[in-house]
Structure 1
């Protein structure tokens, strides 16, 4: 009987904690939608943004795998928003249970749109775009001072990329130069059409969200990041980092993802 009472008391405490979290976020979602109320999530899908490829998540992936997580990095085609969302959706379809969907930079658009997938239990934004449904992100960004990296974009026809100088200074400015050059070498060009897309859903309105603000960001204005995190009522951390905190601070970003997965307090 003693063990039953203890188990019952523990269940009451867990239930009260979950109810408090839902109330604080002003959400009507069922308790099972939050990491604290669900069994520990074992799947994480990671999406990259502009000027990068899936290898930008390598440092985080190693840490997640060490924690027993099944981590998958999406290779974003960087062509159009629907095609990029479709690639994320295909990866989510392959997951065998509840999943954390994380996105860096532009991939916040993919998290916002594809995050309505039934496998997705929580969302993580890393210095990422987080538009509302049908919102013009470019217009929103223009209400804040322009980040310097934008001036370093060059186009070859319809394909855009960052110059090496802008990449090293404004995208990956807190990395050792040799490491930043390796990232520059795998930079994938994006198509102009990609930037014209708008999300039709805002998954963060329905699912628990987490946001890592980069305070030294020269690619997405840090105050814009704070605004988006606050608007979505995200669990938010601030990282003294360039735009690529997933590379320069992988321990911090991994901990945030594990928190979203219910693996840590």
Structure 2
């Protein structure tokens, strides 16, 4: 790690999976000398997840790269205004603007031909369809890994989907964005539109929505690029 690099990295997981899926990328980053913190956000409300992220950011000893996957992109958009955050990395992620919700973004783009997101249940929780899970969310994972991910999925609440962000850190801080060409959860057309609006440095990769698990080296490379002070 060069002397001009930011040494702290905070990673915010998305909906339907927790931070443990980032283990391979974590190990790569740690081996290169980075201090990596993984937020176990509750995916209950935007406020709760931003608060969990801010707790992690408060504990950093200096400038920090903030990374968000999927729903985690909405979280880091708001939490990224934290004074320790110097850059953002969006990984197959939502990038809302101020007063915009994740649901509004989803509704602004064509619906994917195969949609694995189920309607909310009676408790207001949103899960992924078992029959479509591997095709839409766990693309590239083995059947055993996909089955485990399905059975351990963390639902997202309707409240989180409709919560509007109150700040957009990408307006004042540089951002990188990873666009998986085979994303079956967020329409790549929407990702491209959001990333362009944010002025992000976009890296397209062959892979699905959880490519941070199937392509950890390539994802880690983008995070490292975001850590270099310019």
- The question of a shared fold, defined as TM-score above 0.5 by the shorter chain, is answered with yes
Structure 1 69/120 Cα, relative in aligned 2: closer, same or farther at 3 Å?
A: same
Conserved in 1, the CA contact under 8 Å of 2:103 and 2:162? no
Q: Alpha-carbon deviations, 1:39-98, whole Å to 9, x = none?
A: 311110000111111112111111111111111110010111101100000000000011
Post-superposition shift, 1:234? 0.8
Which residue in the other structure is 2:32 paired with? Answer: 67
Which residue in the other structure is 2:174 paired with? Answer: 208
- Find 2:17's aligned residue among 52, 64, 77: 52
Post-superposition shift, 1:159? 2.2
Q: Which has the higher helix share?
A: 1
Are 1:234 and 2:200 an aligned pair? yes
- Find 1:175's aligned residue among 141, 146, 150: 141
Conserved in 2, the CA contact under 8 Å of 1:209 and 1:234? yes
Distance (Å, rounded) in 1 between the aligned partners of 2:90 and 2:180? 11
Structure 1 93/227 Cα, relative in aligned 2: closer, same or farther at 3 Å?
A: same
- Find 1:257's aligned residue among 198, 223, 228: 223
Distance (Å, rounded) in 2 between the aligned partners of 1:209 and 1:82? 22
Which residue in the other structure is 1:109 paired with? Answer: 74
Q: Alpha-carbon deviations, 1:2-38, whole Å to 9, x = none?
A: xxxxxxxxxxxxxxxxxxxxxxxxxxxxxxxxxx9x8
Conserved in 1, the CA contact under 8 Å of 2:101 and 2:162? no
Q: Extract unaligned runs of 5+ from structure 2.
A: none
Moved more, 232-241 or 135-144: 135-144
Q: Alpha-carbon deviations, 1:152-174, whole Å to 9, x = none?
A: 45625222211322222210122
Structure 1 160/96 Cα, relative in aligned 2: closer, same or farther at 3 Å?
A: same
TM-score of the aligned structures, taking structure 2 as reference length: 0.93
Conserved in 1, the CA contact under 8 Å of 2:101 and 2:161? no
User: Aligned with 1:102: secondary structure?
Assistant: strand
Q: Alpha-carbon deviations, 1:218-257, whole Å to 9, x = none?
A: 1000011011111111111001111111111111100000
Are 1:92 and 2:35 an aligned pair? no
User: Aligned with 1:155: secondary structure?
Assistant: coil
- Find 1:123's aligned residue among 83, 88, 109: 88
Which residue in the other structure is 1:5 paired with? Answer: none
Post-superposition shift, 1:151? 4.2
Conserved in 2, the CA contact under 8 Å of 1:99 and 1:120? yes
Distance (Å, rounded) in 1 between the aligned partners of 2:194 and 2:22? 22
Moved more, 115-124 or 157-166: 157-166
Post-superposition shift, 1:138? 2.4
RMSD over aligned Cα, in angstroms?
1.9
Distance (Å, rounded) in 1 between the aligned partners of 2:115 and 2:17? 14
Are 1:244 and 2:210 an aligned pair? yes
- Structure 1: 4+ residue segments shifted above 4 A: none
Larger radius of gyration: 1
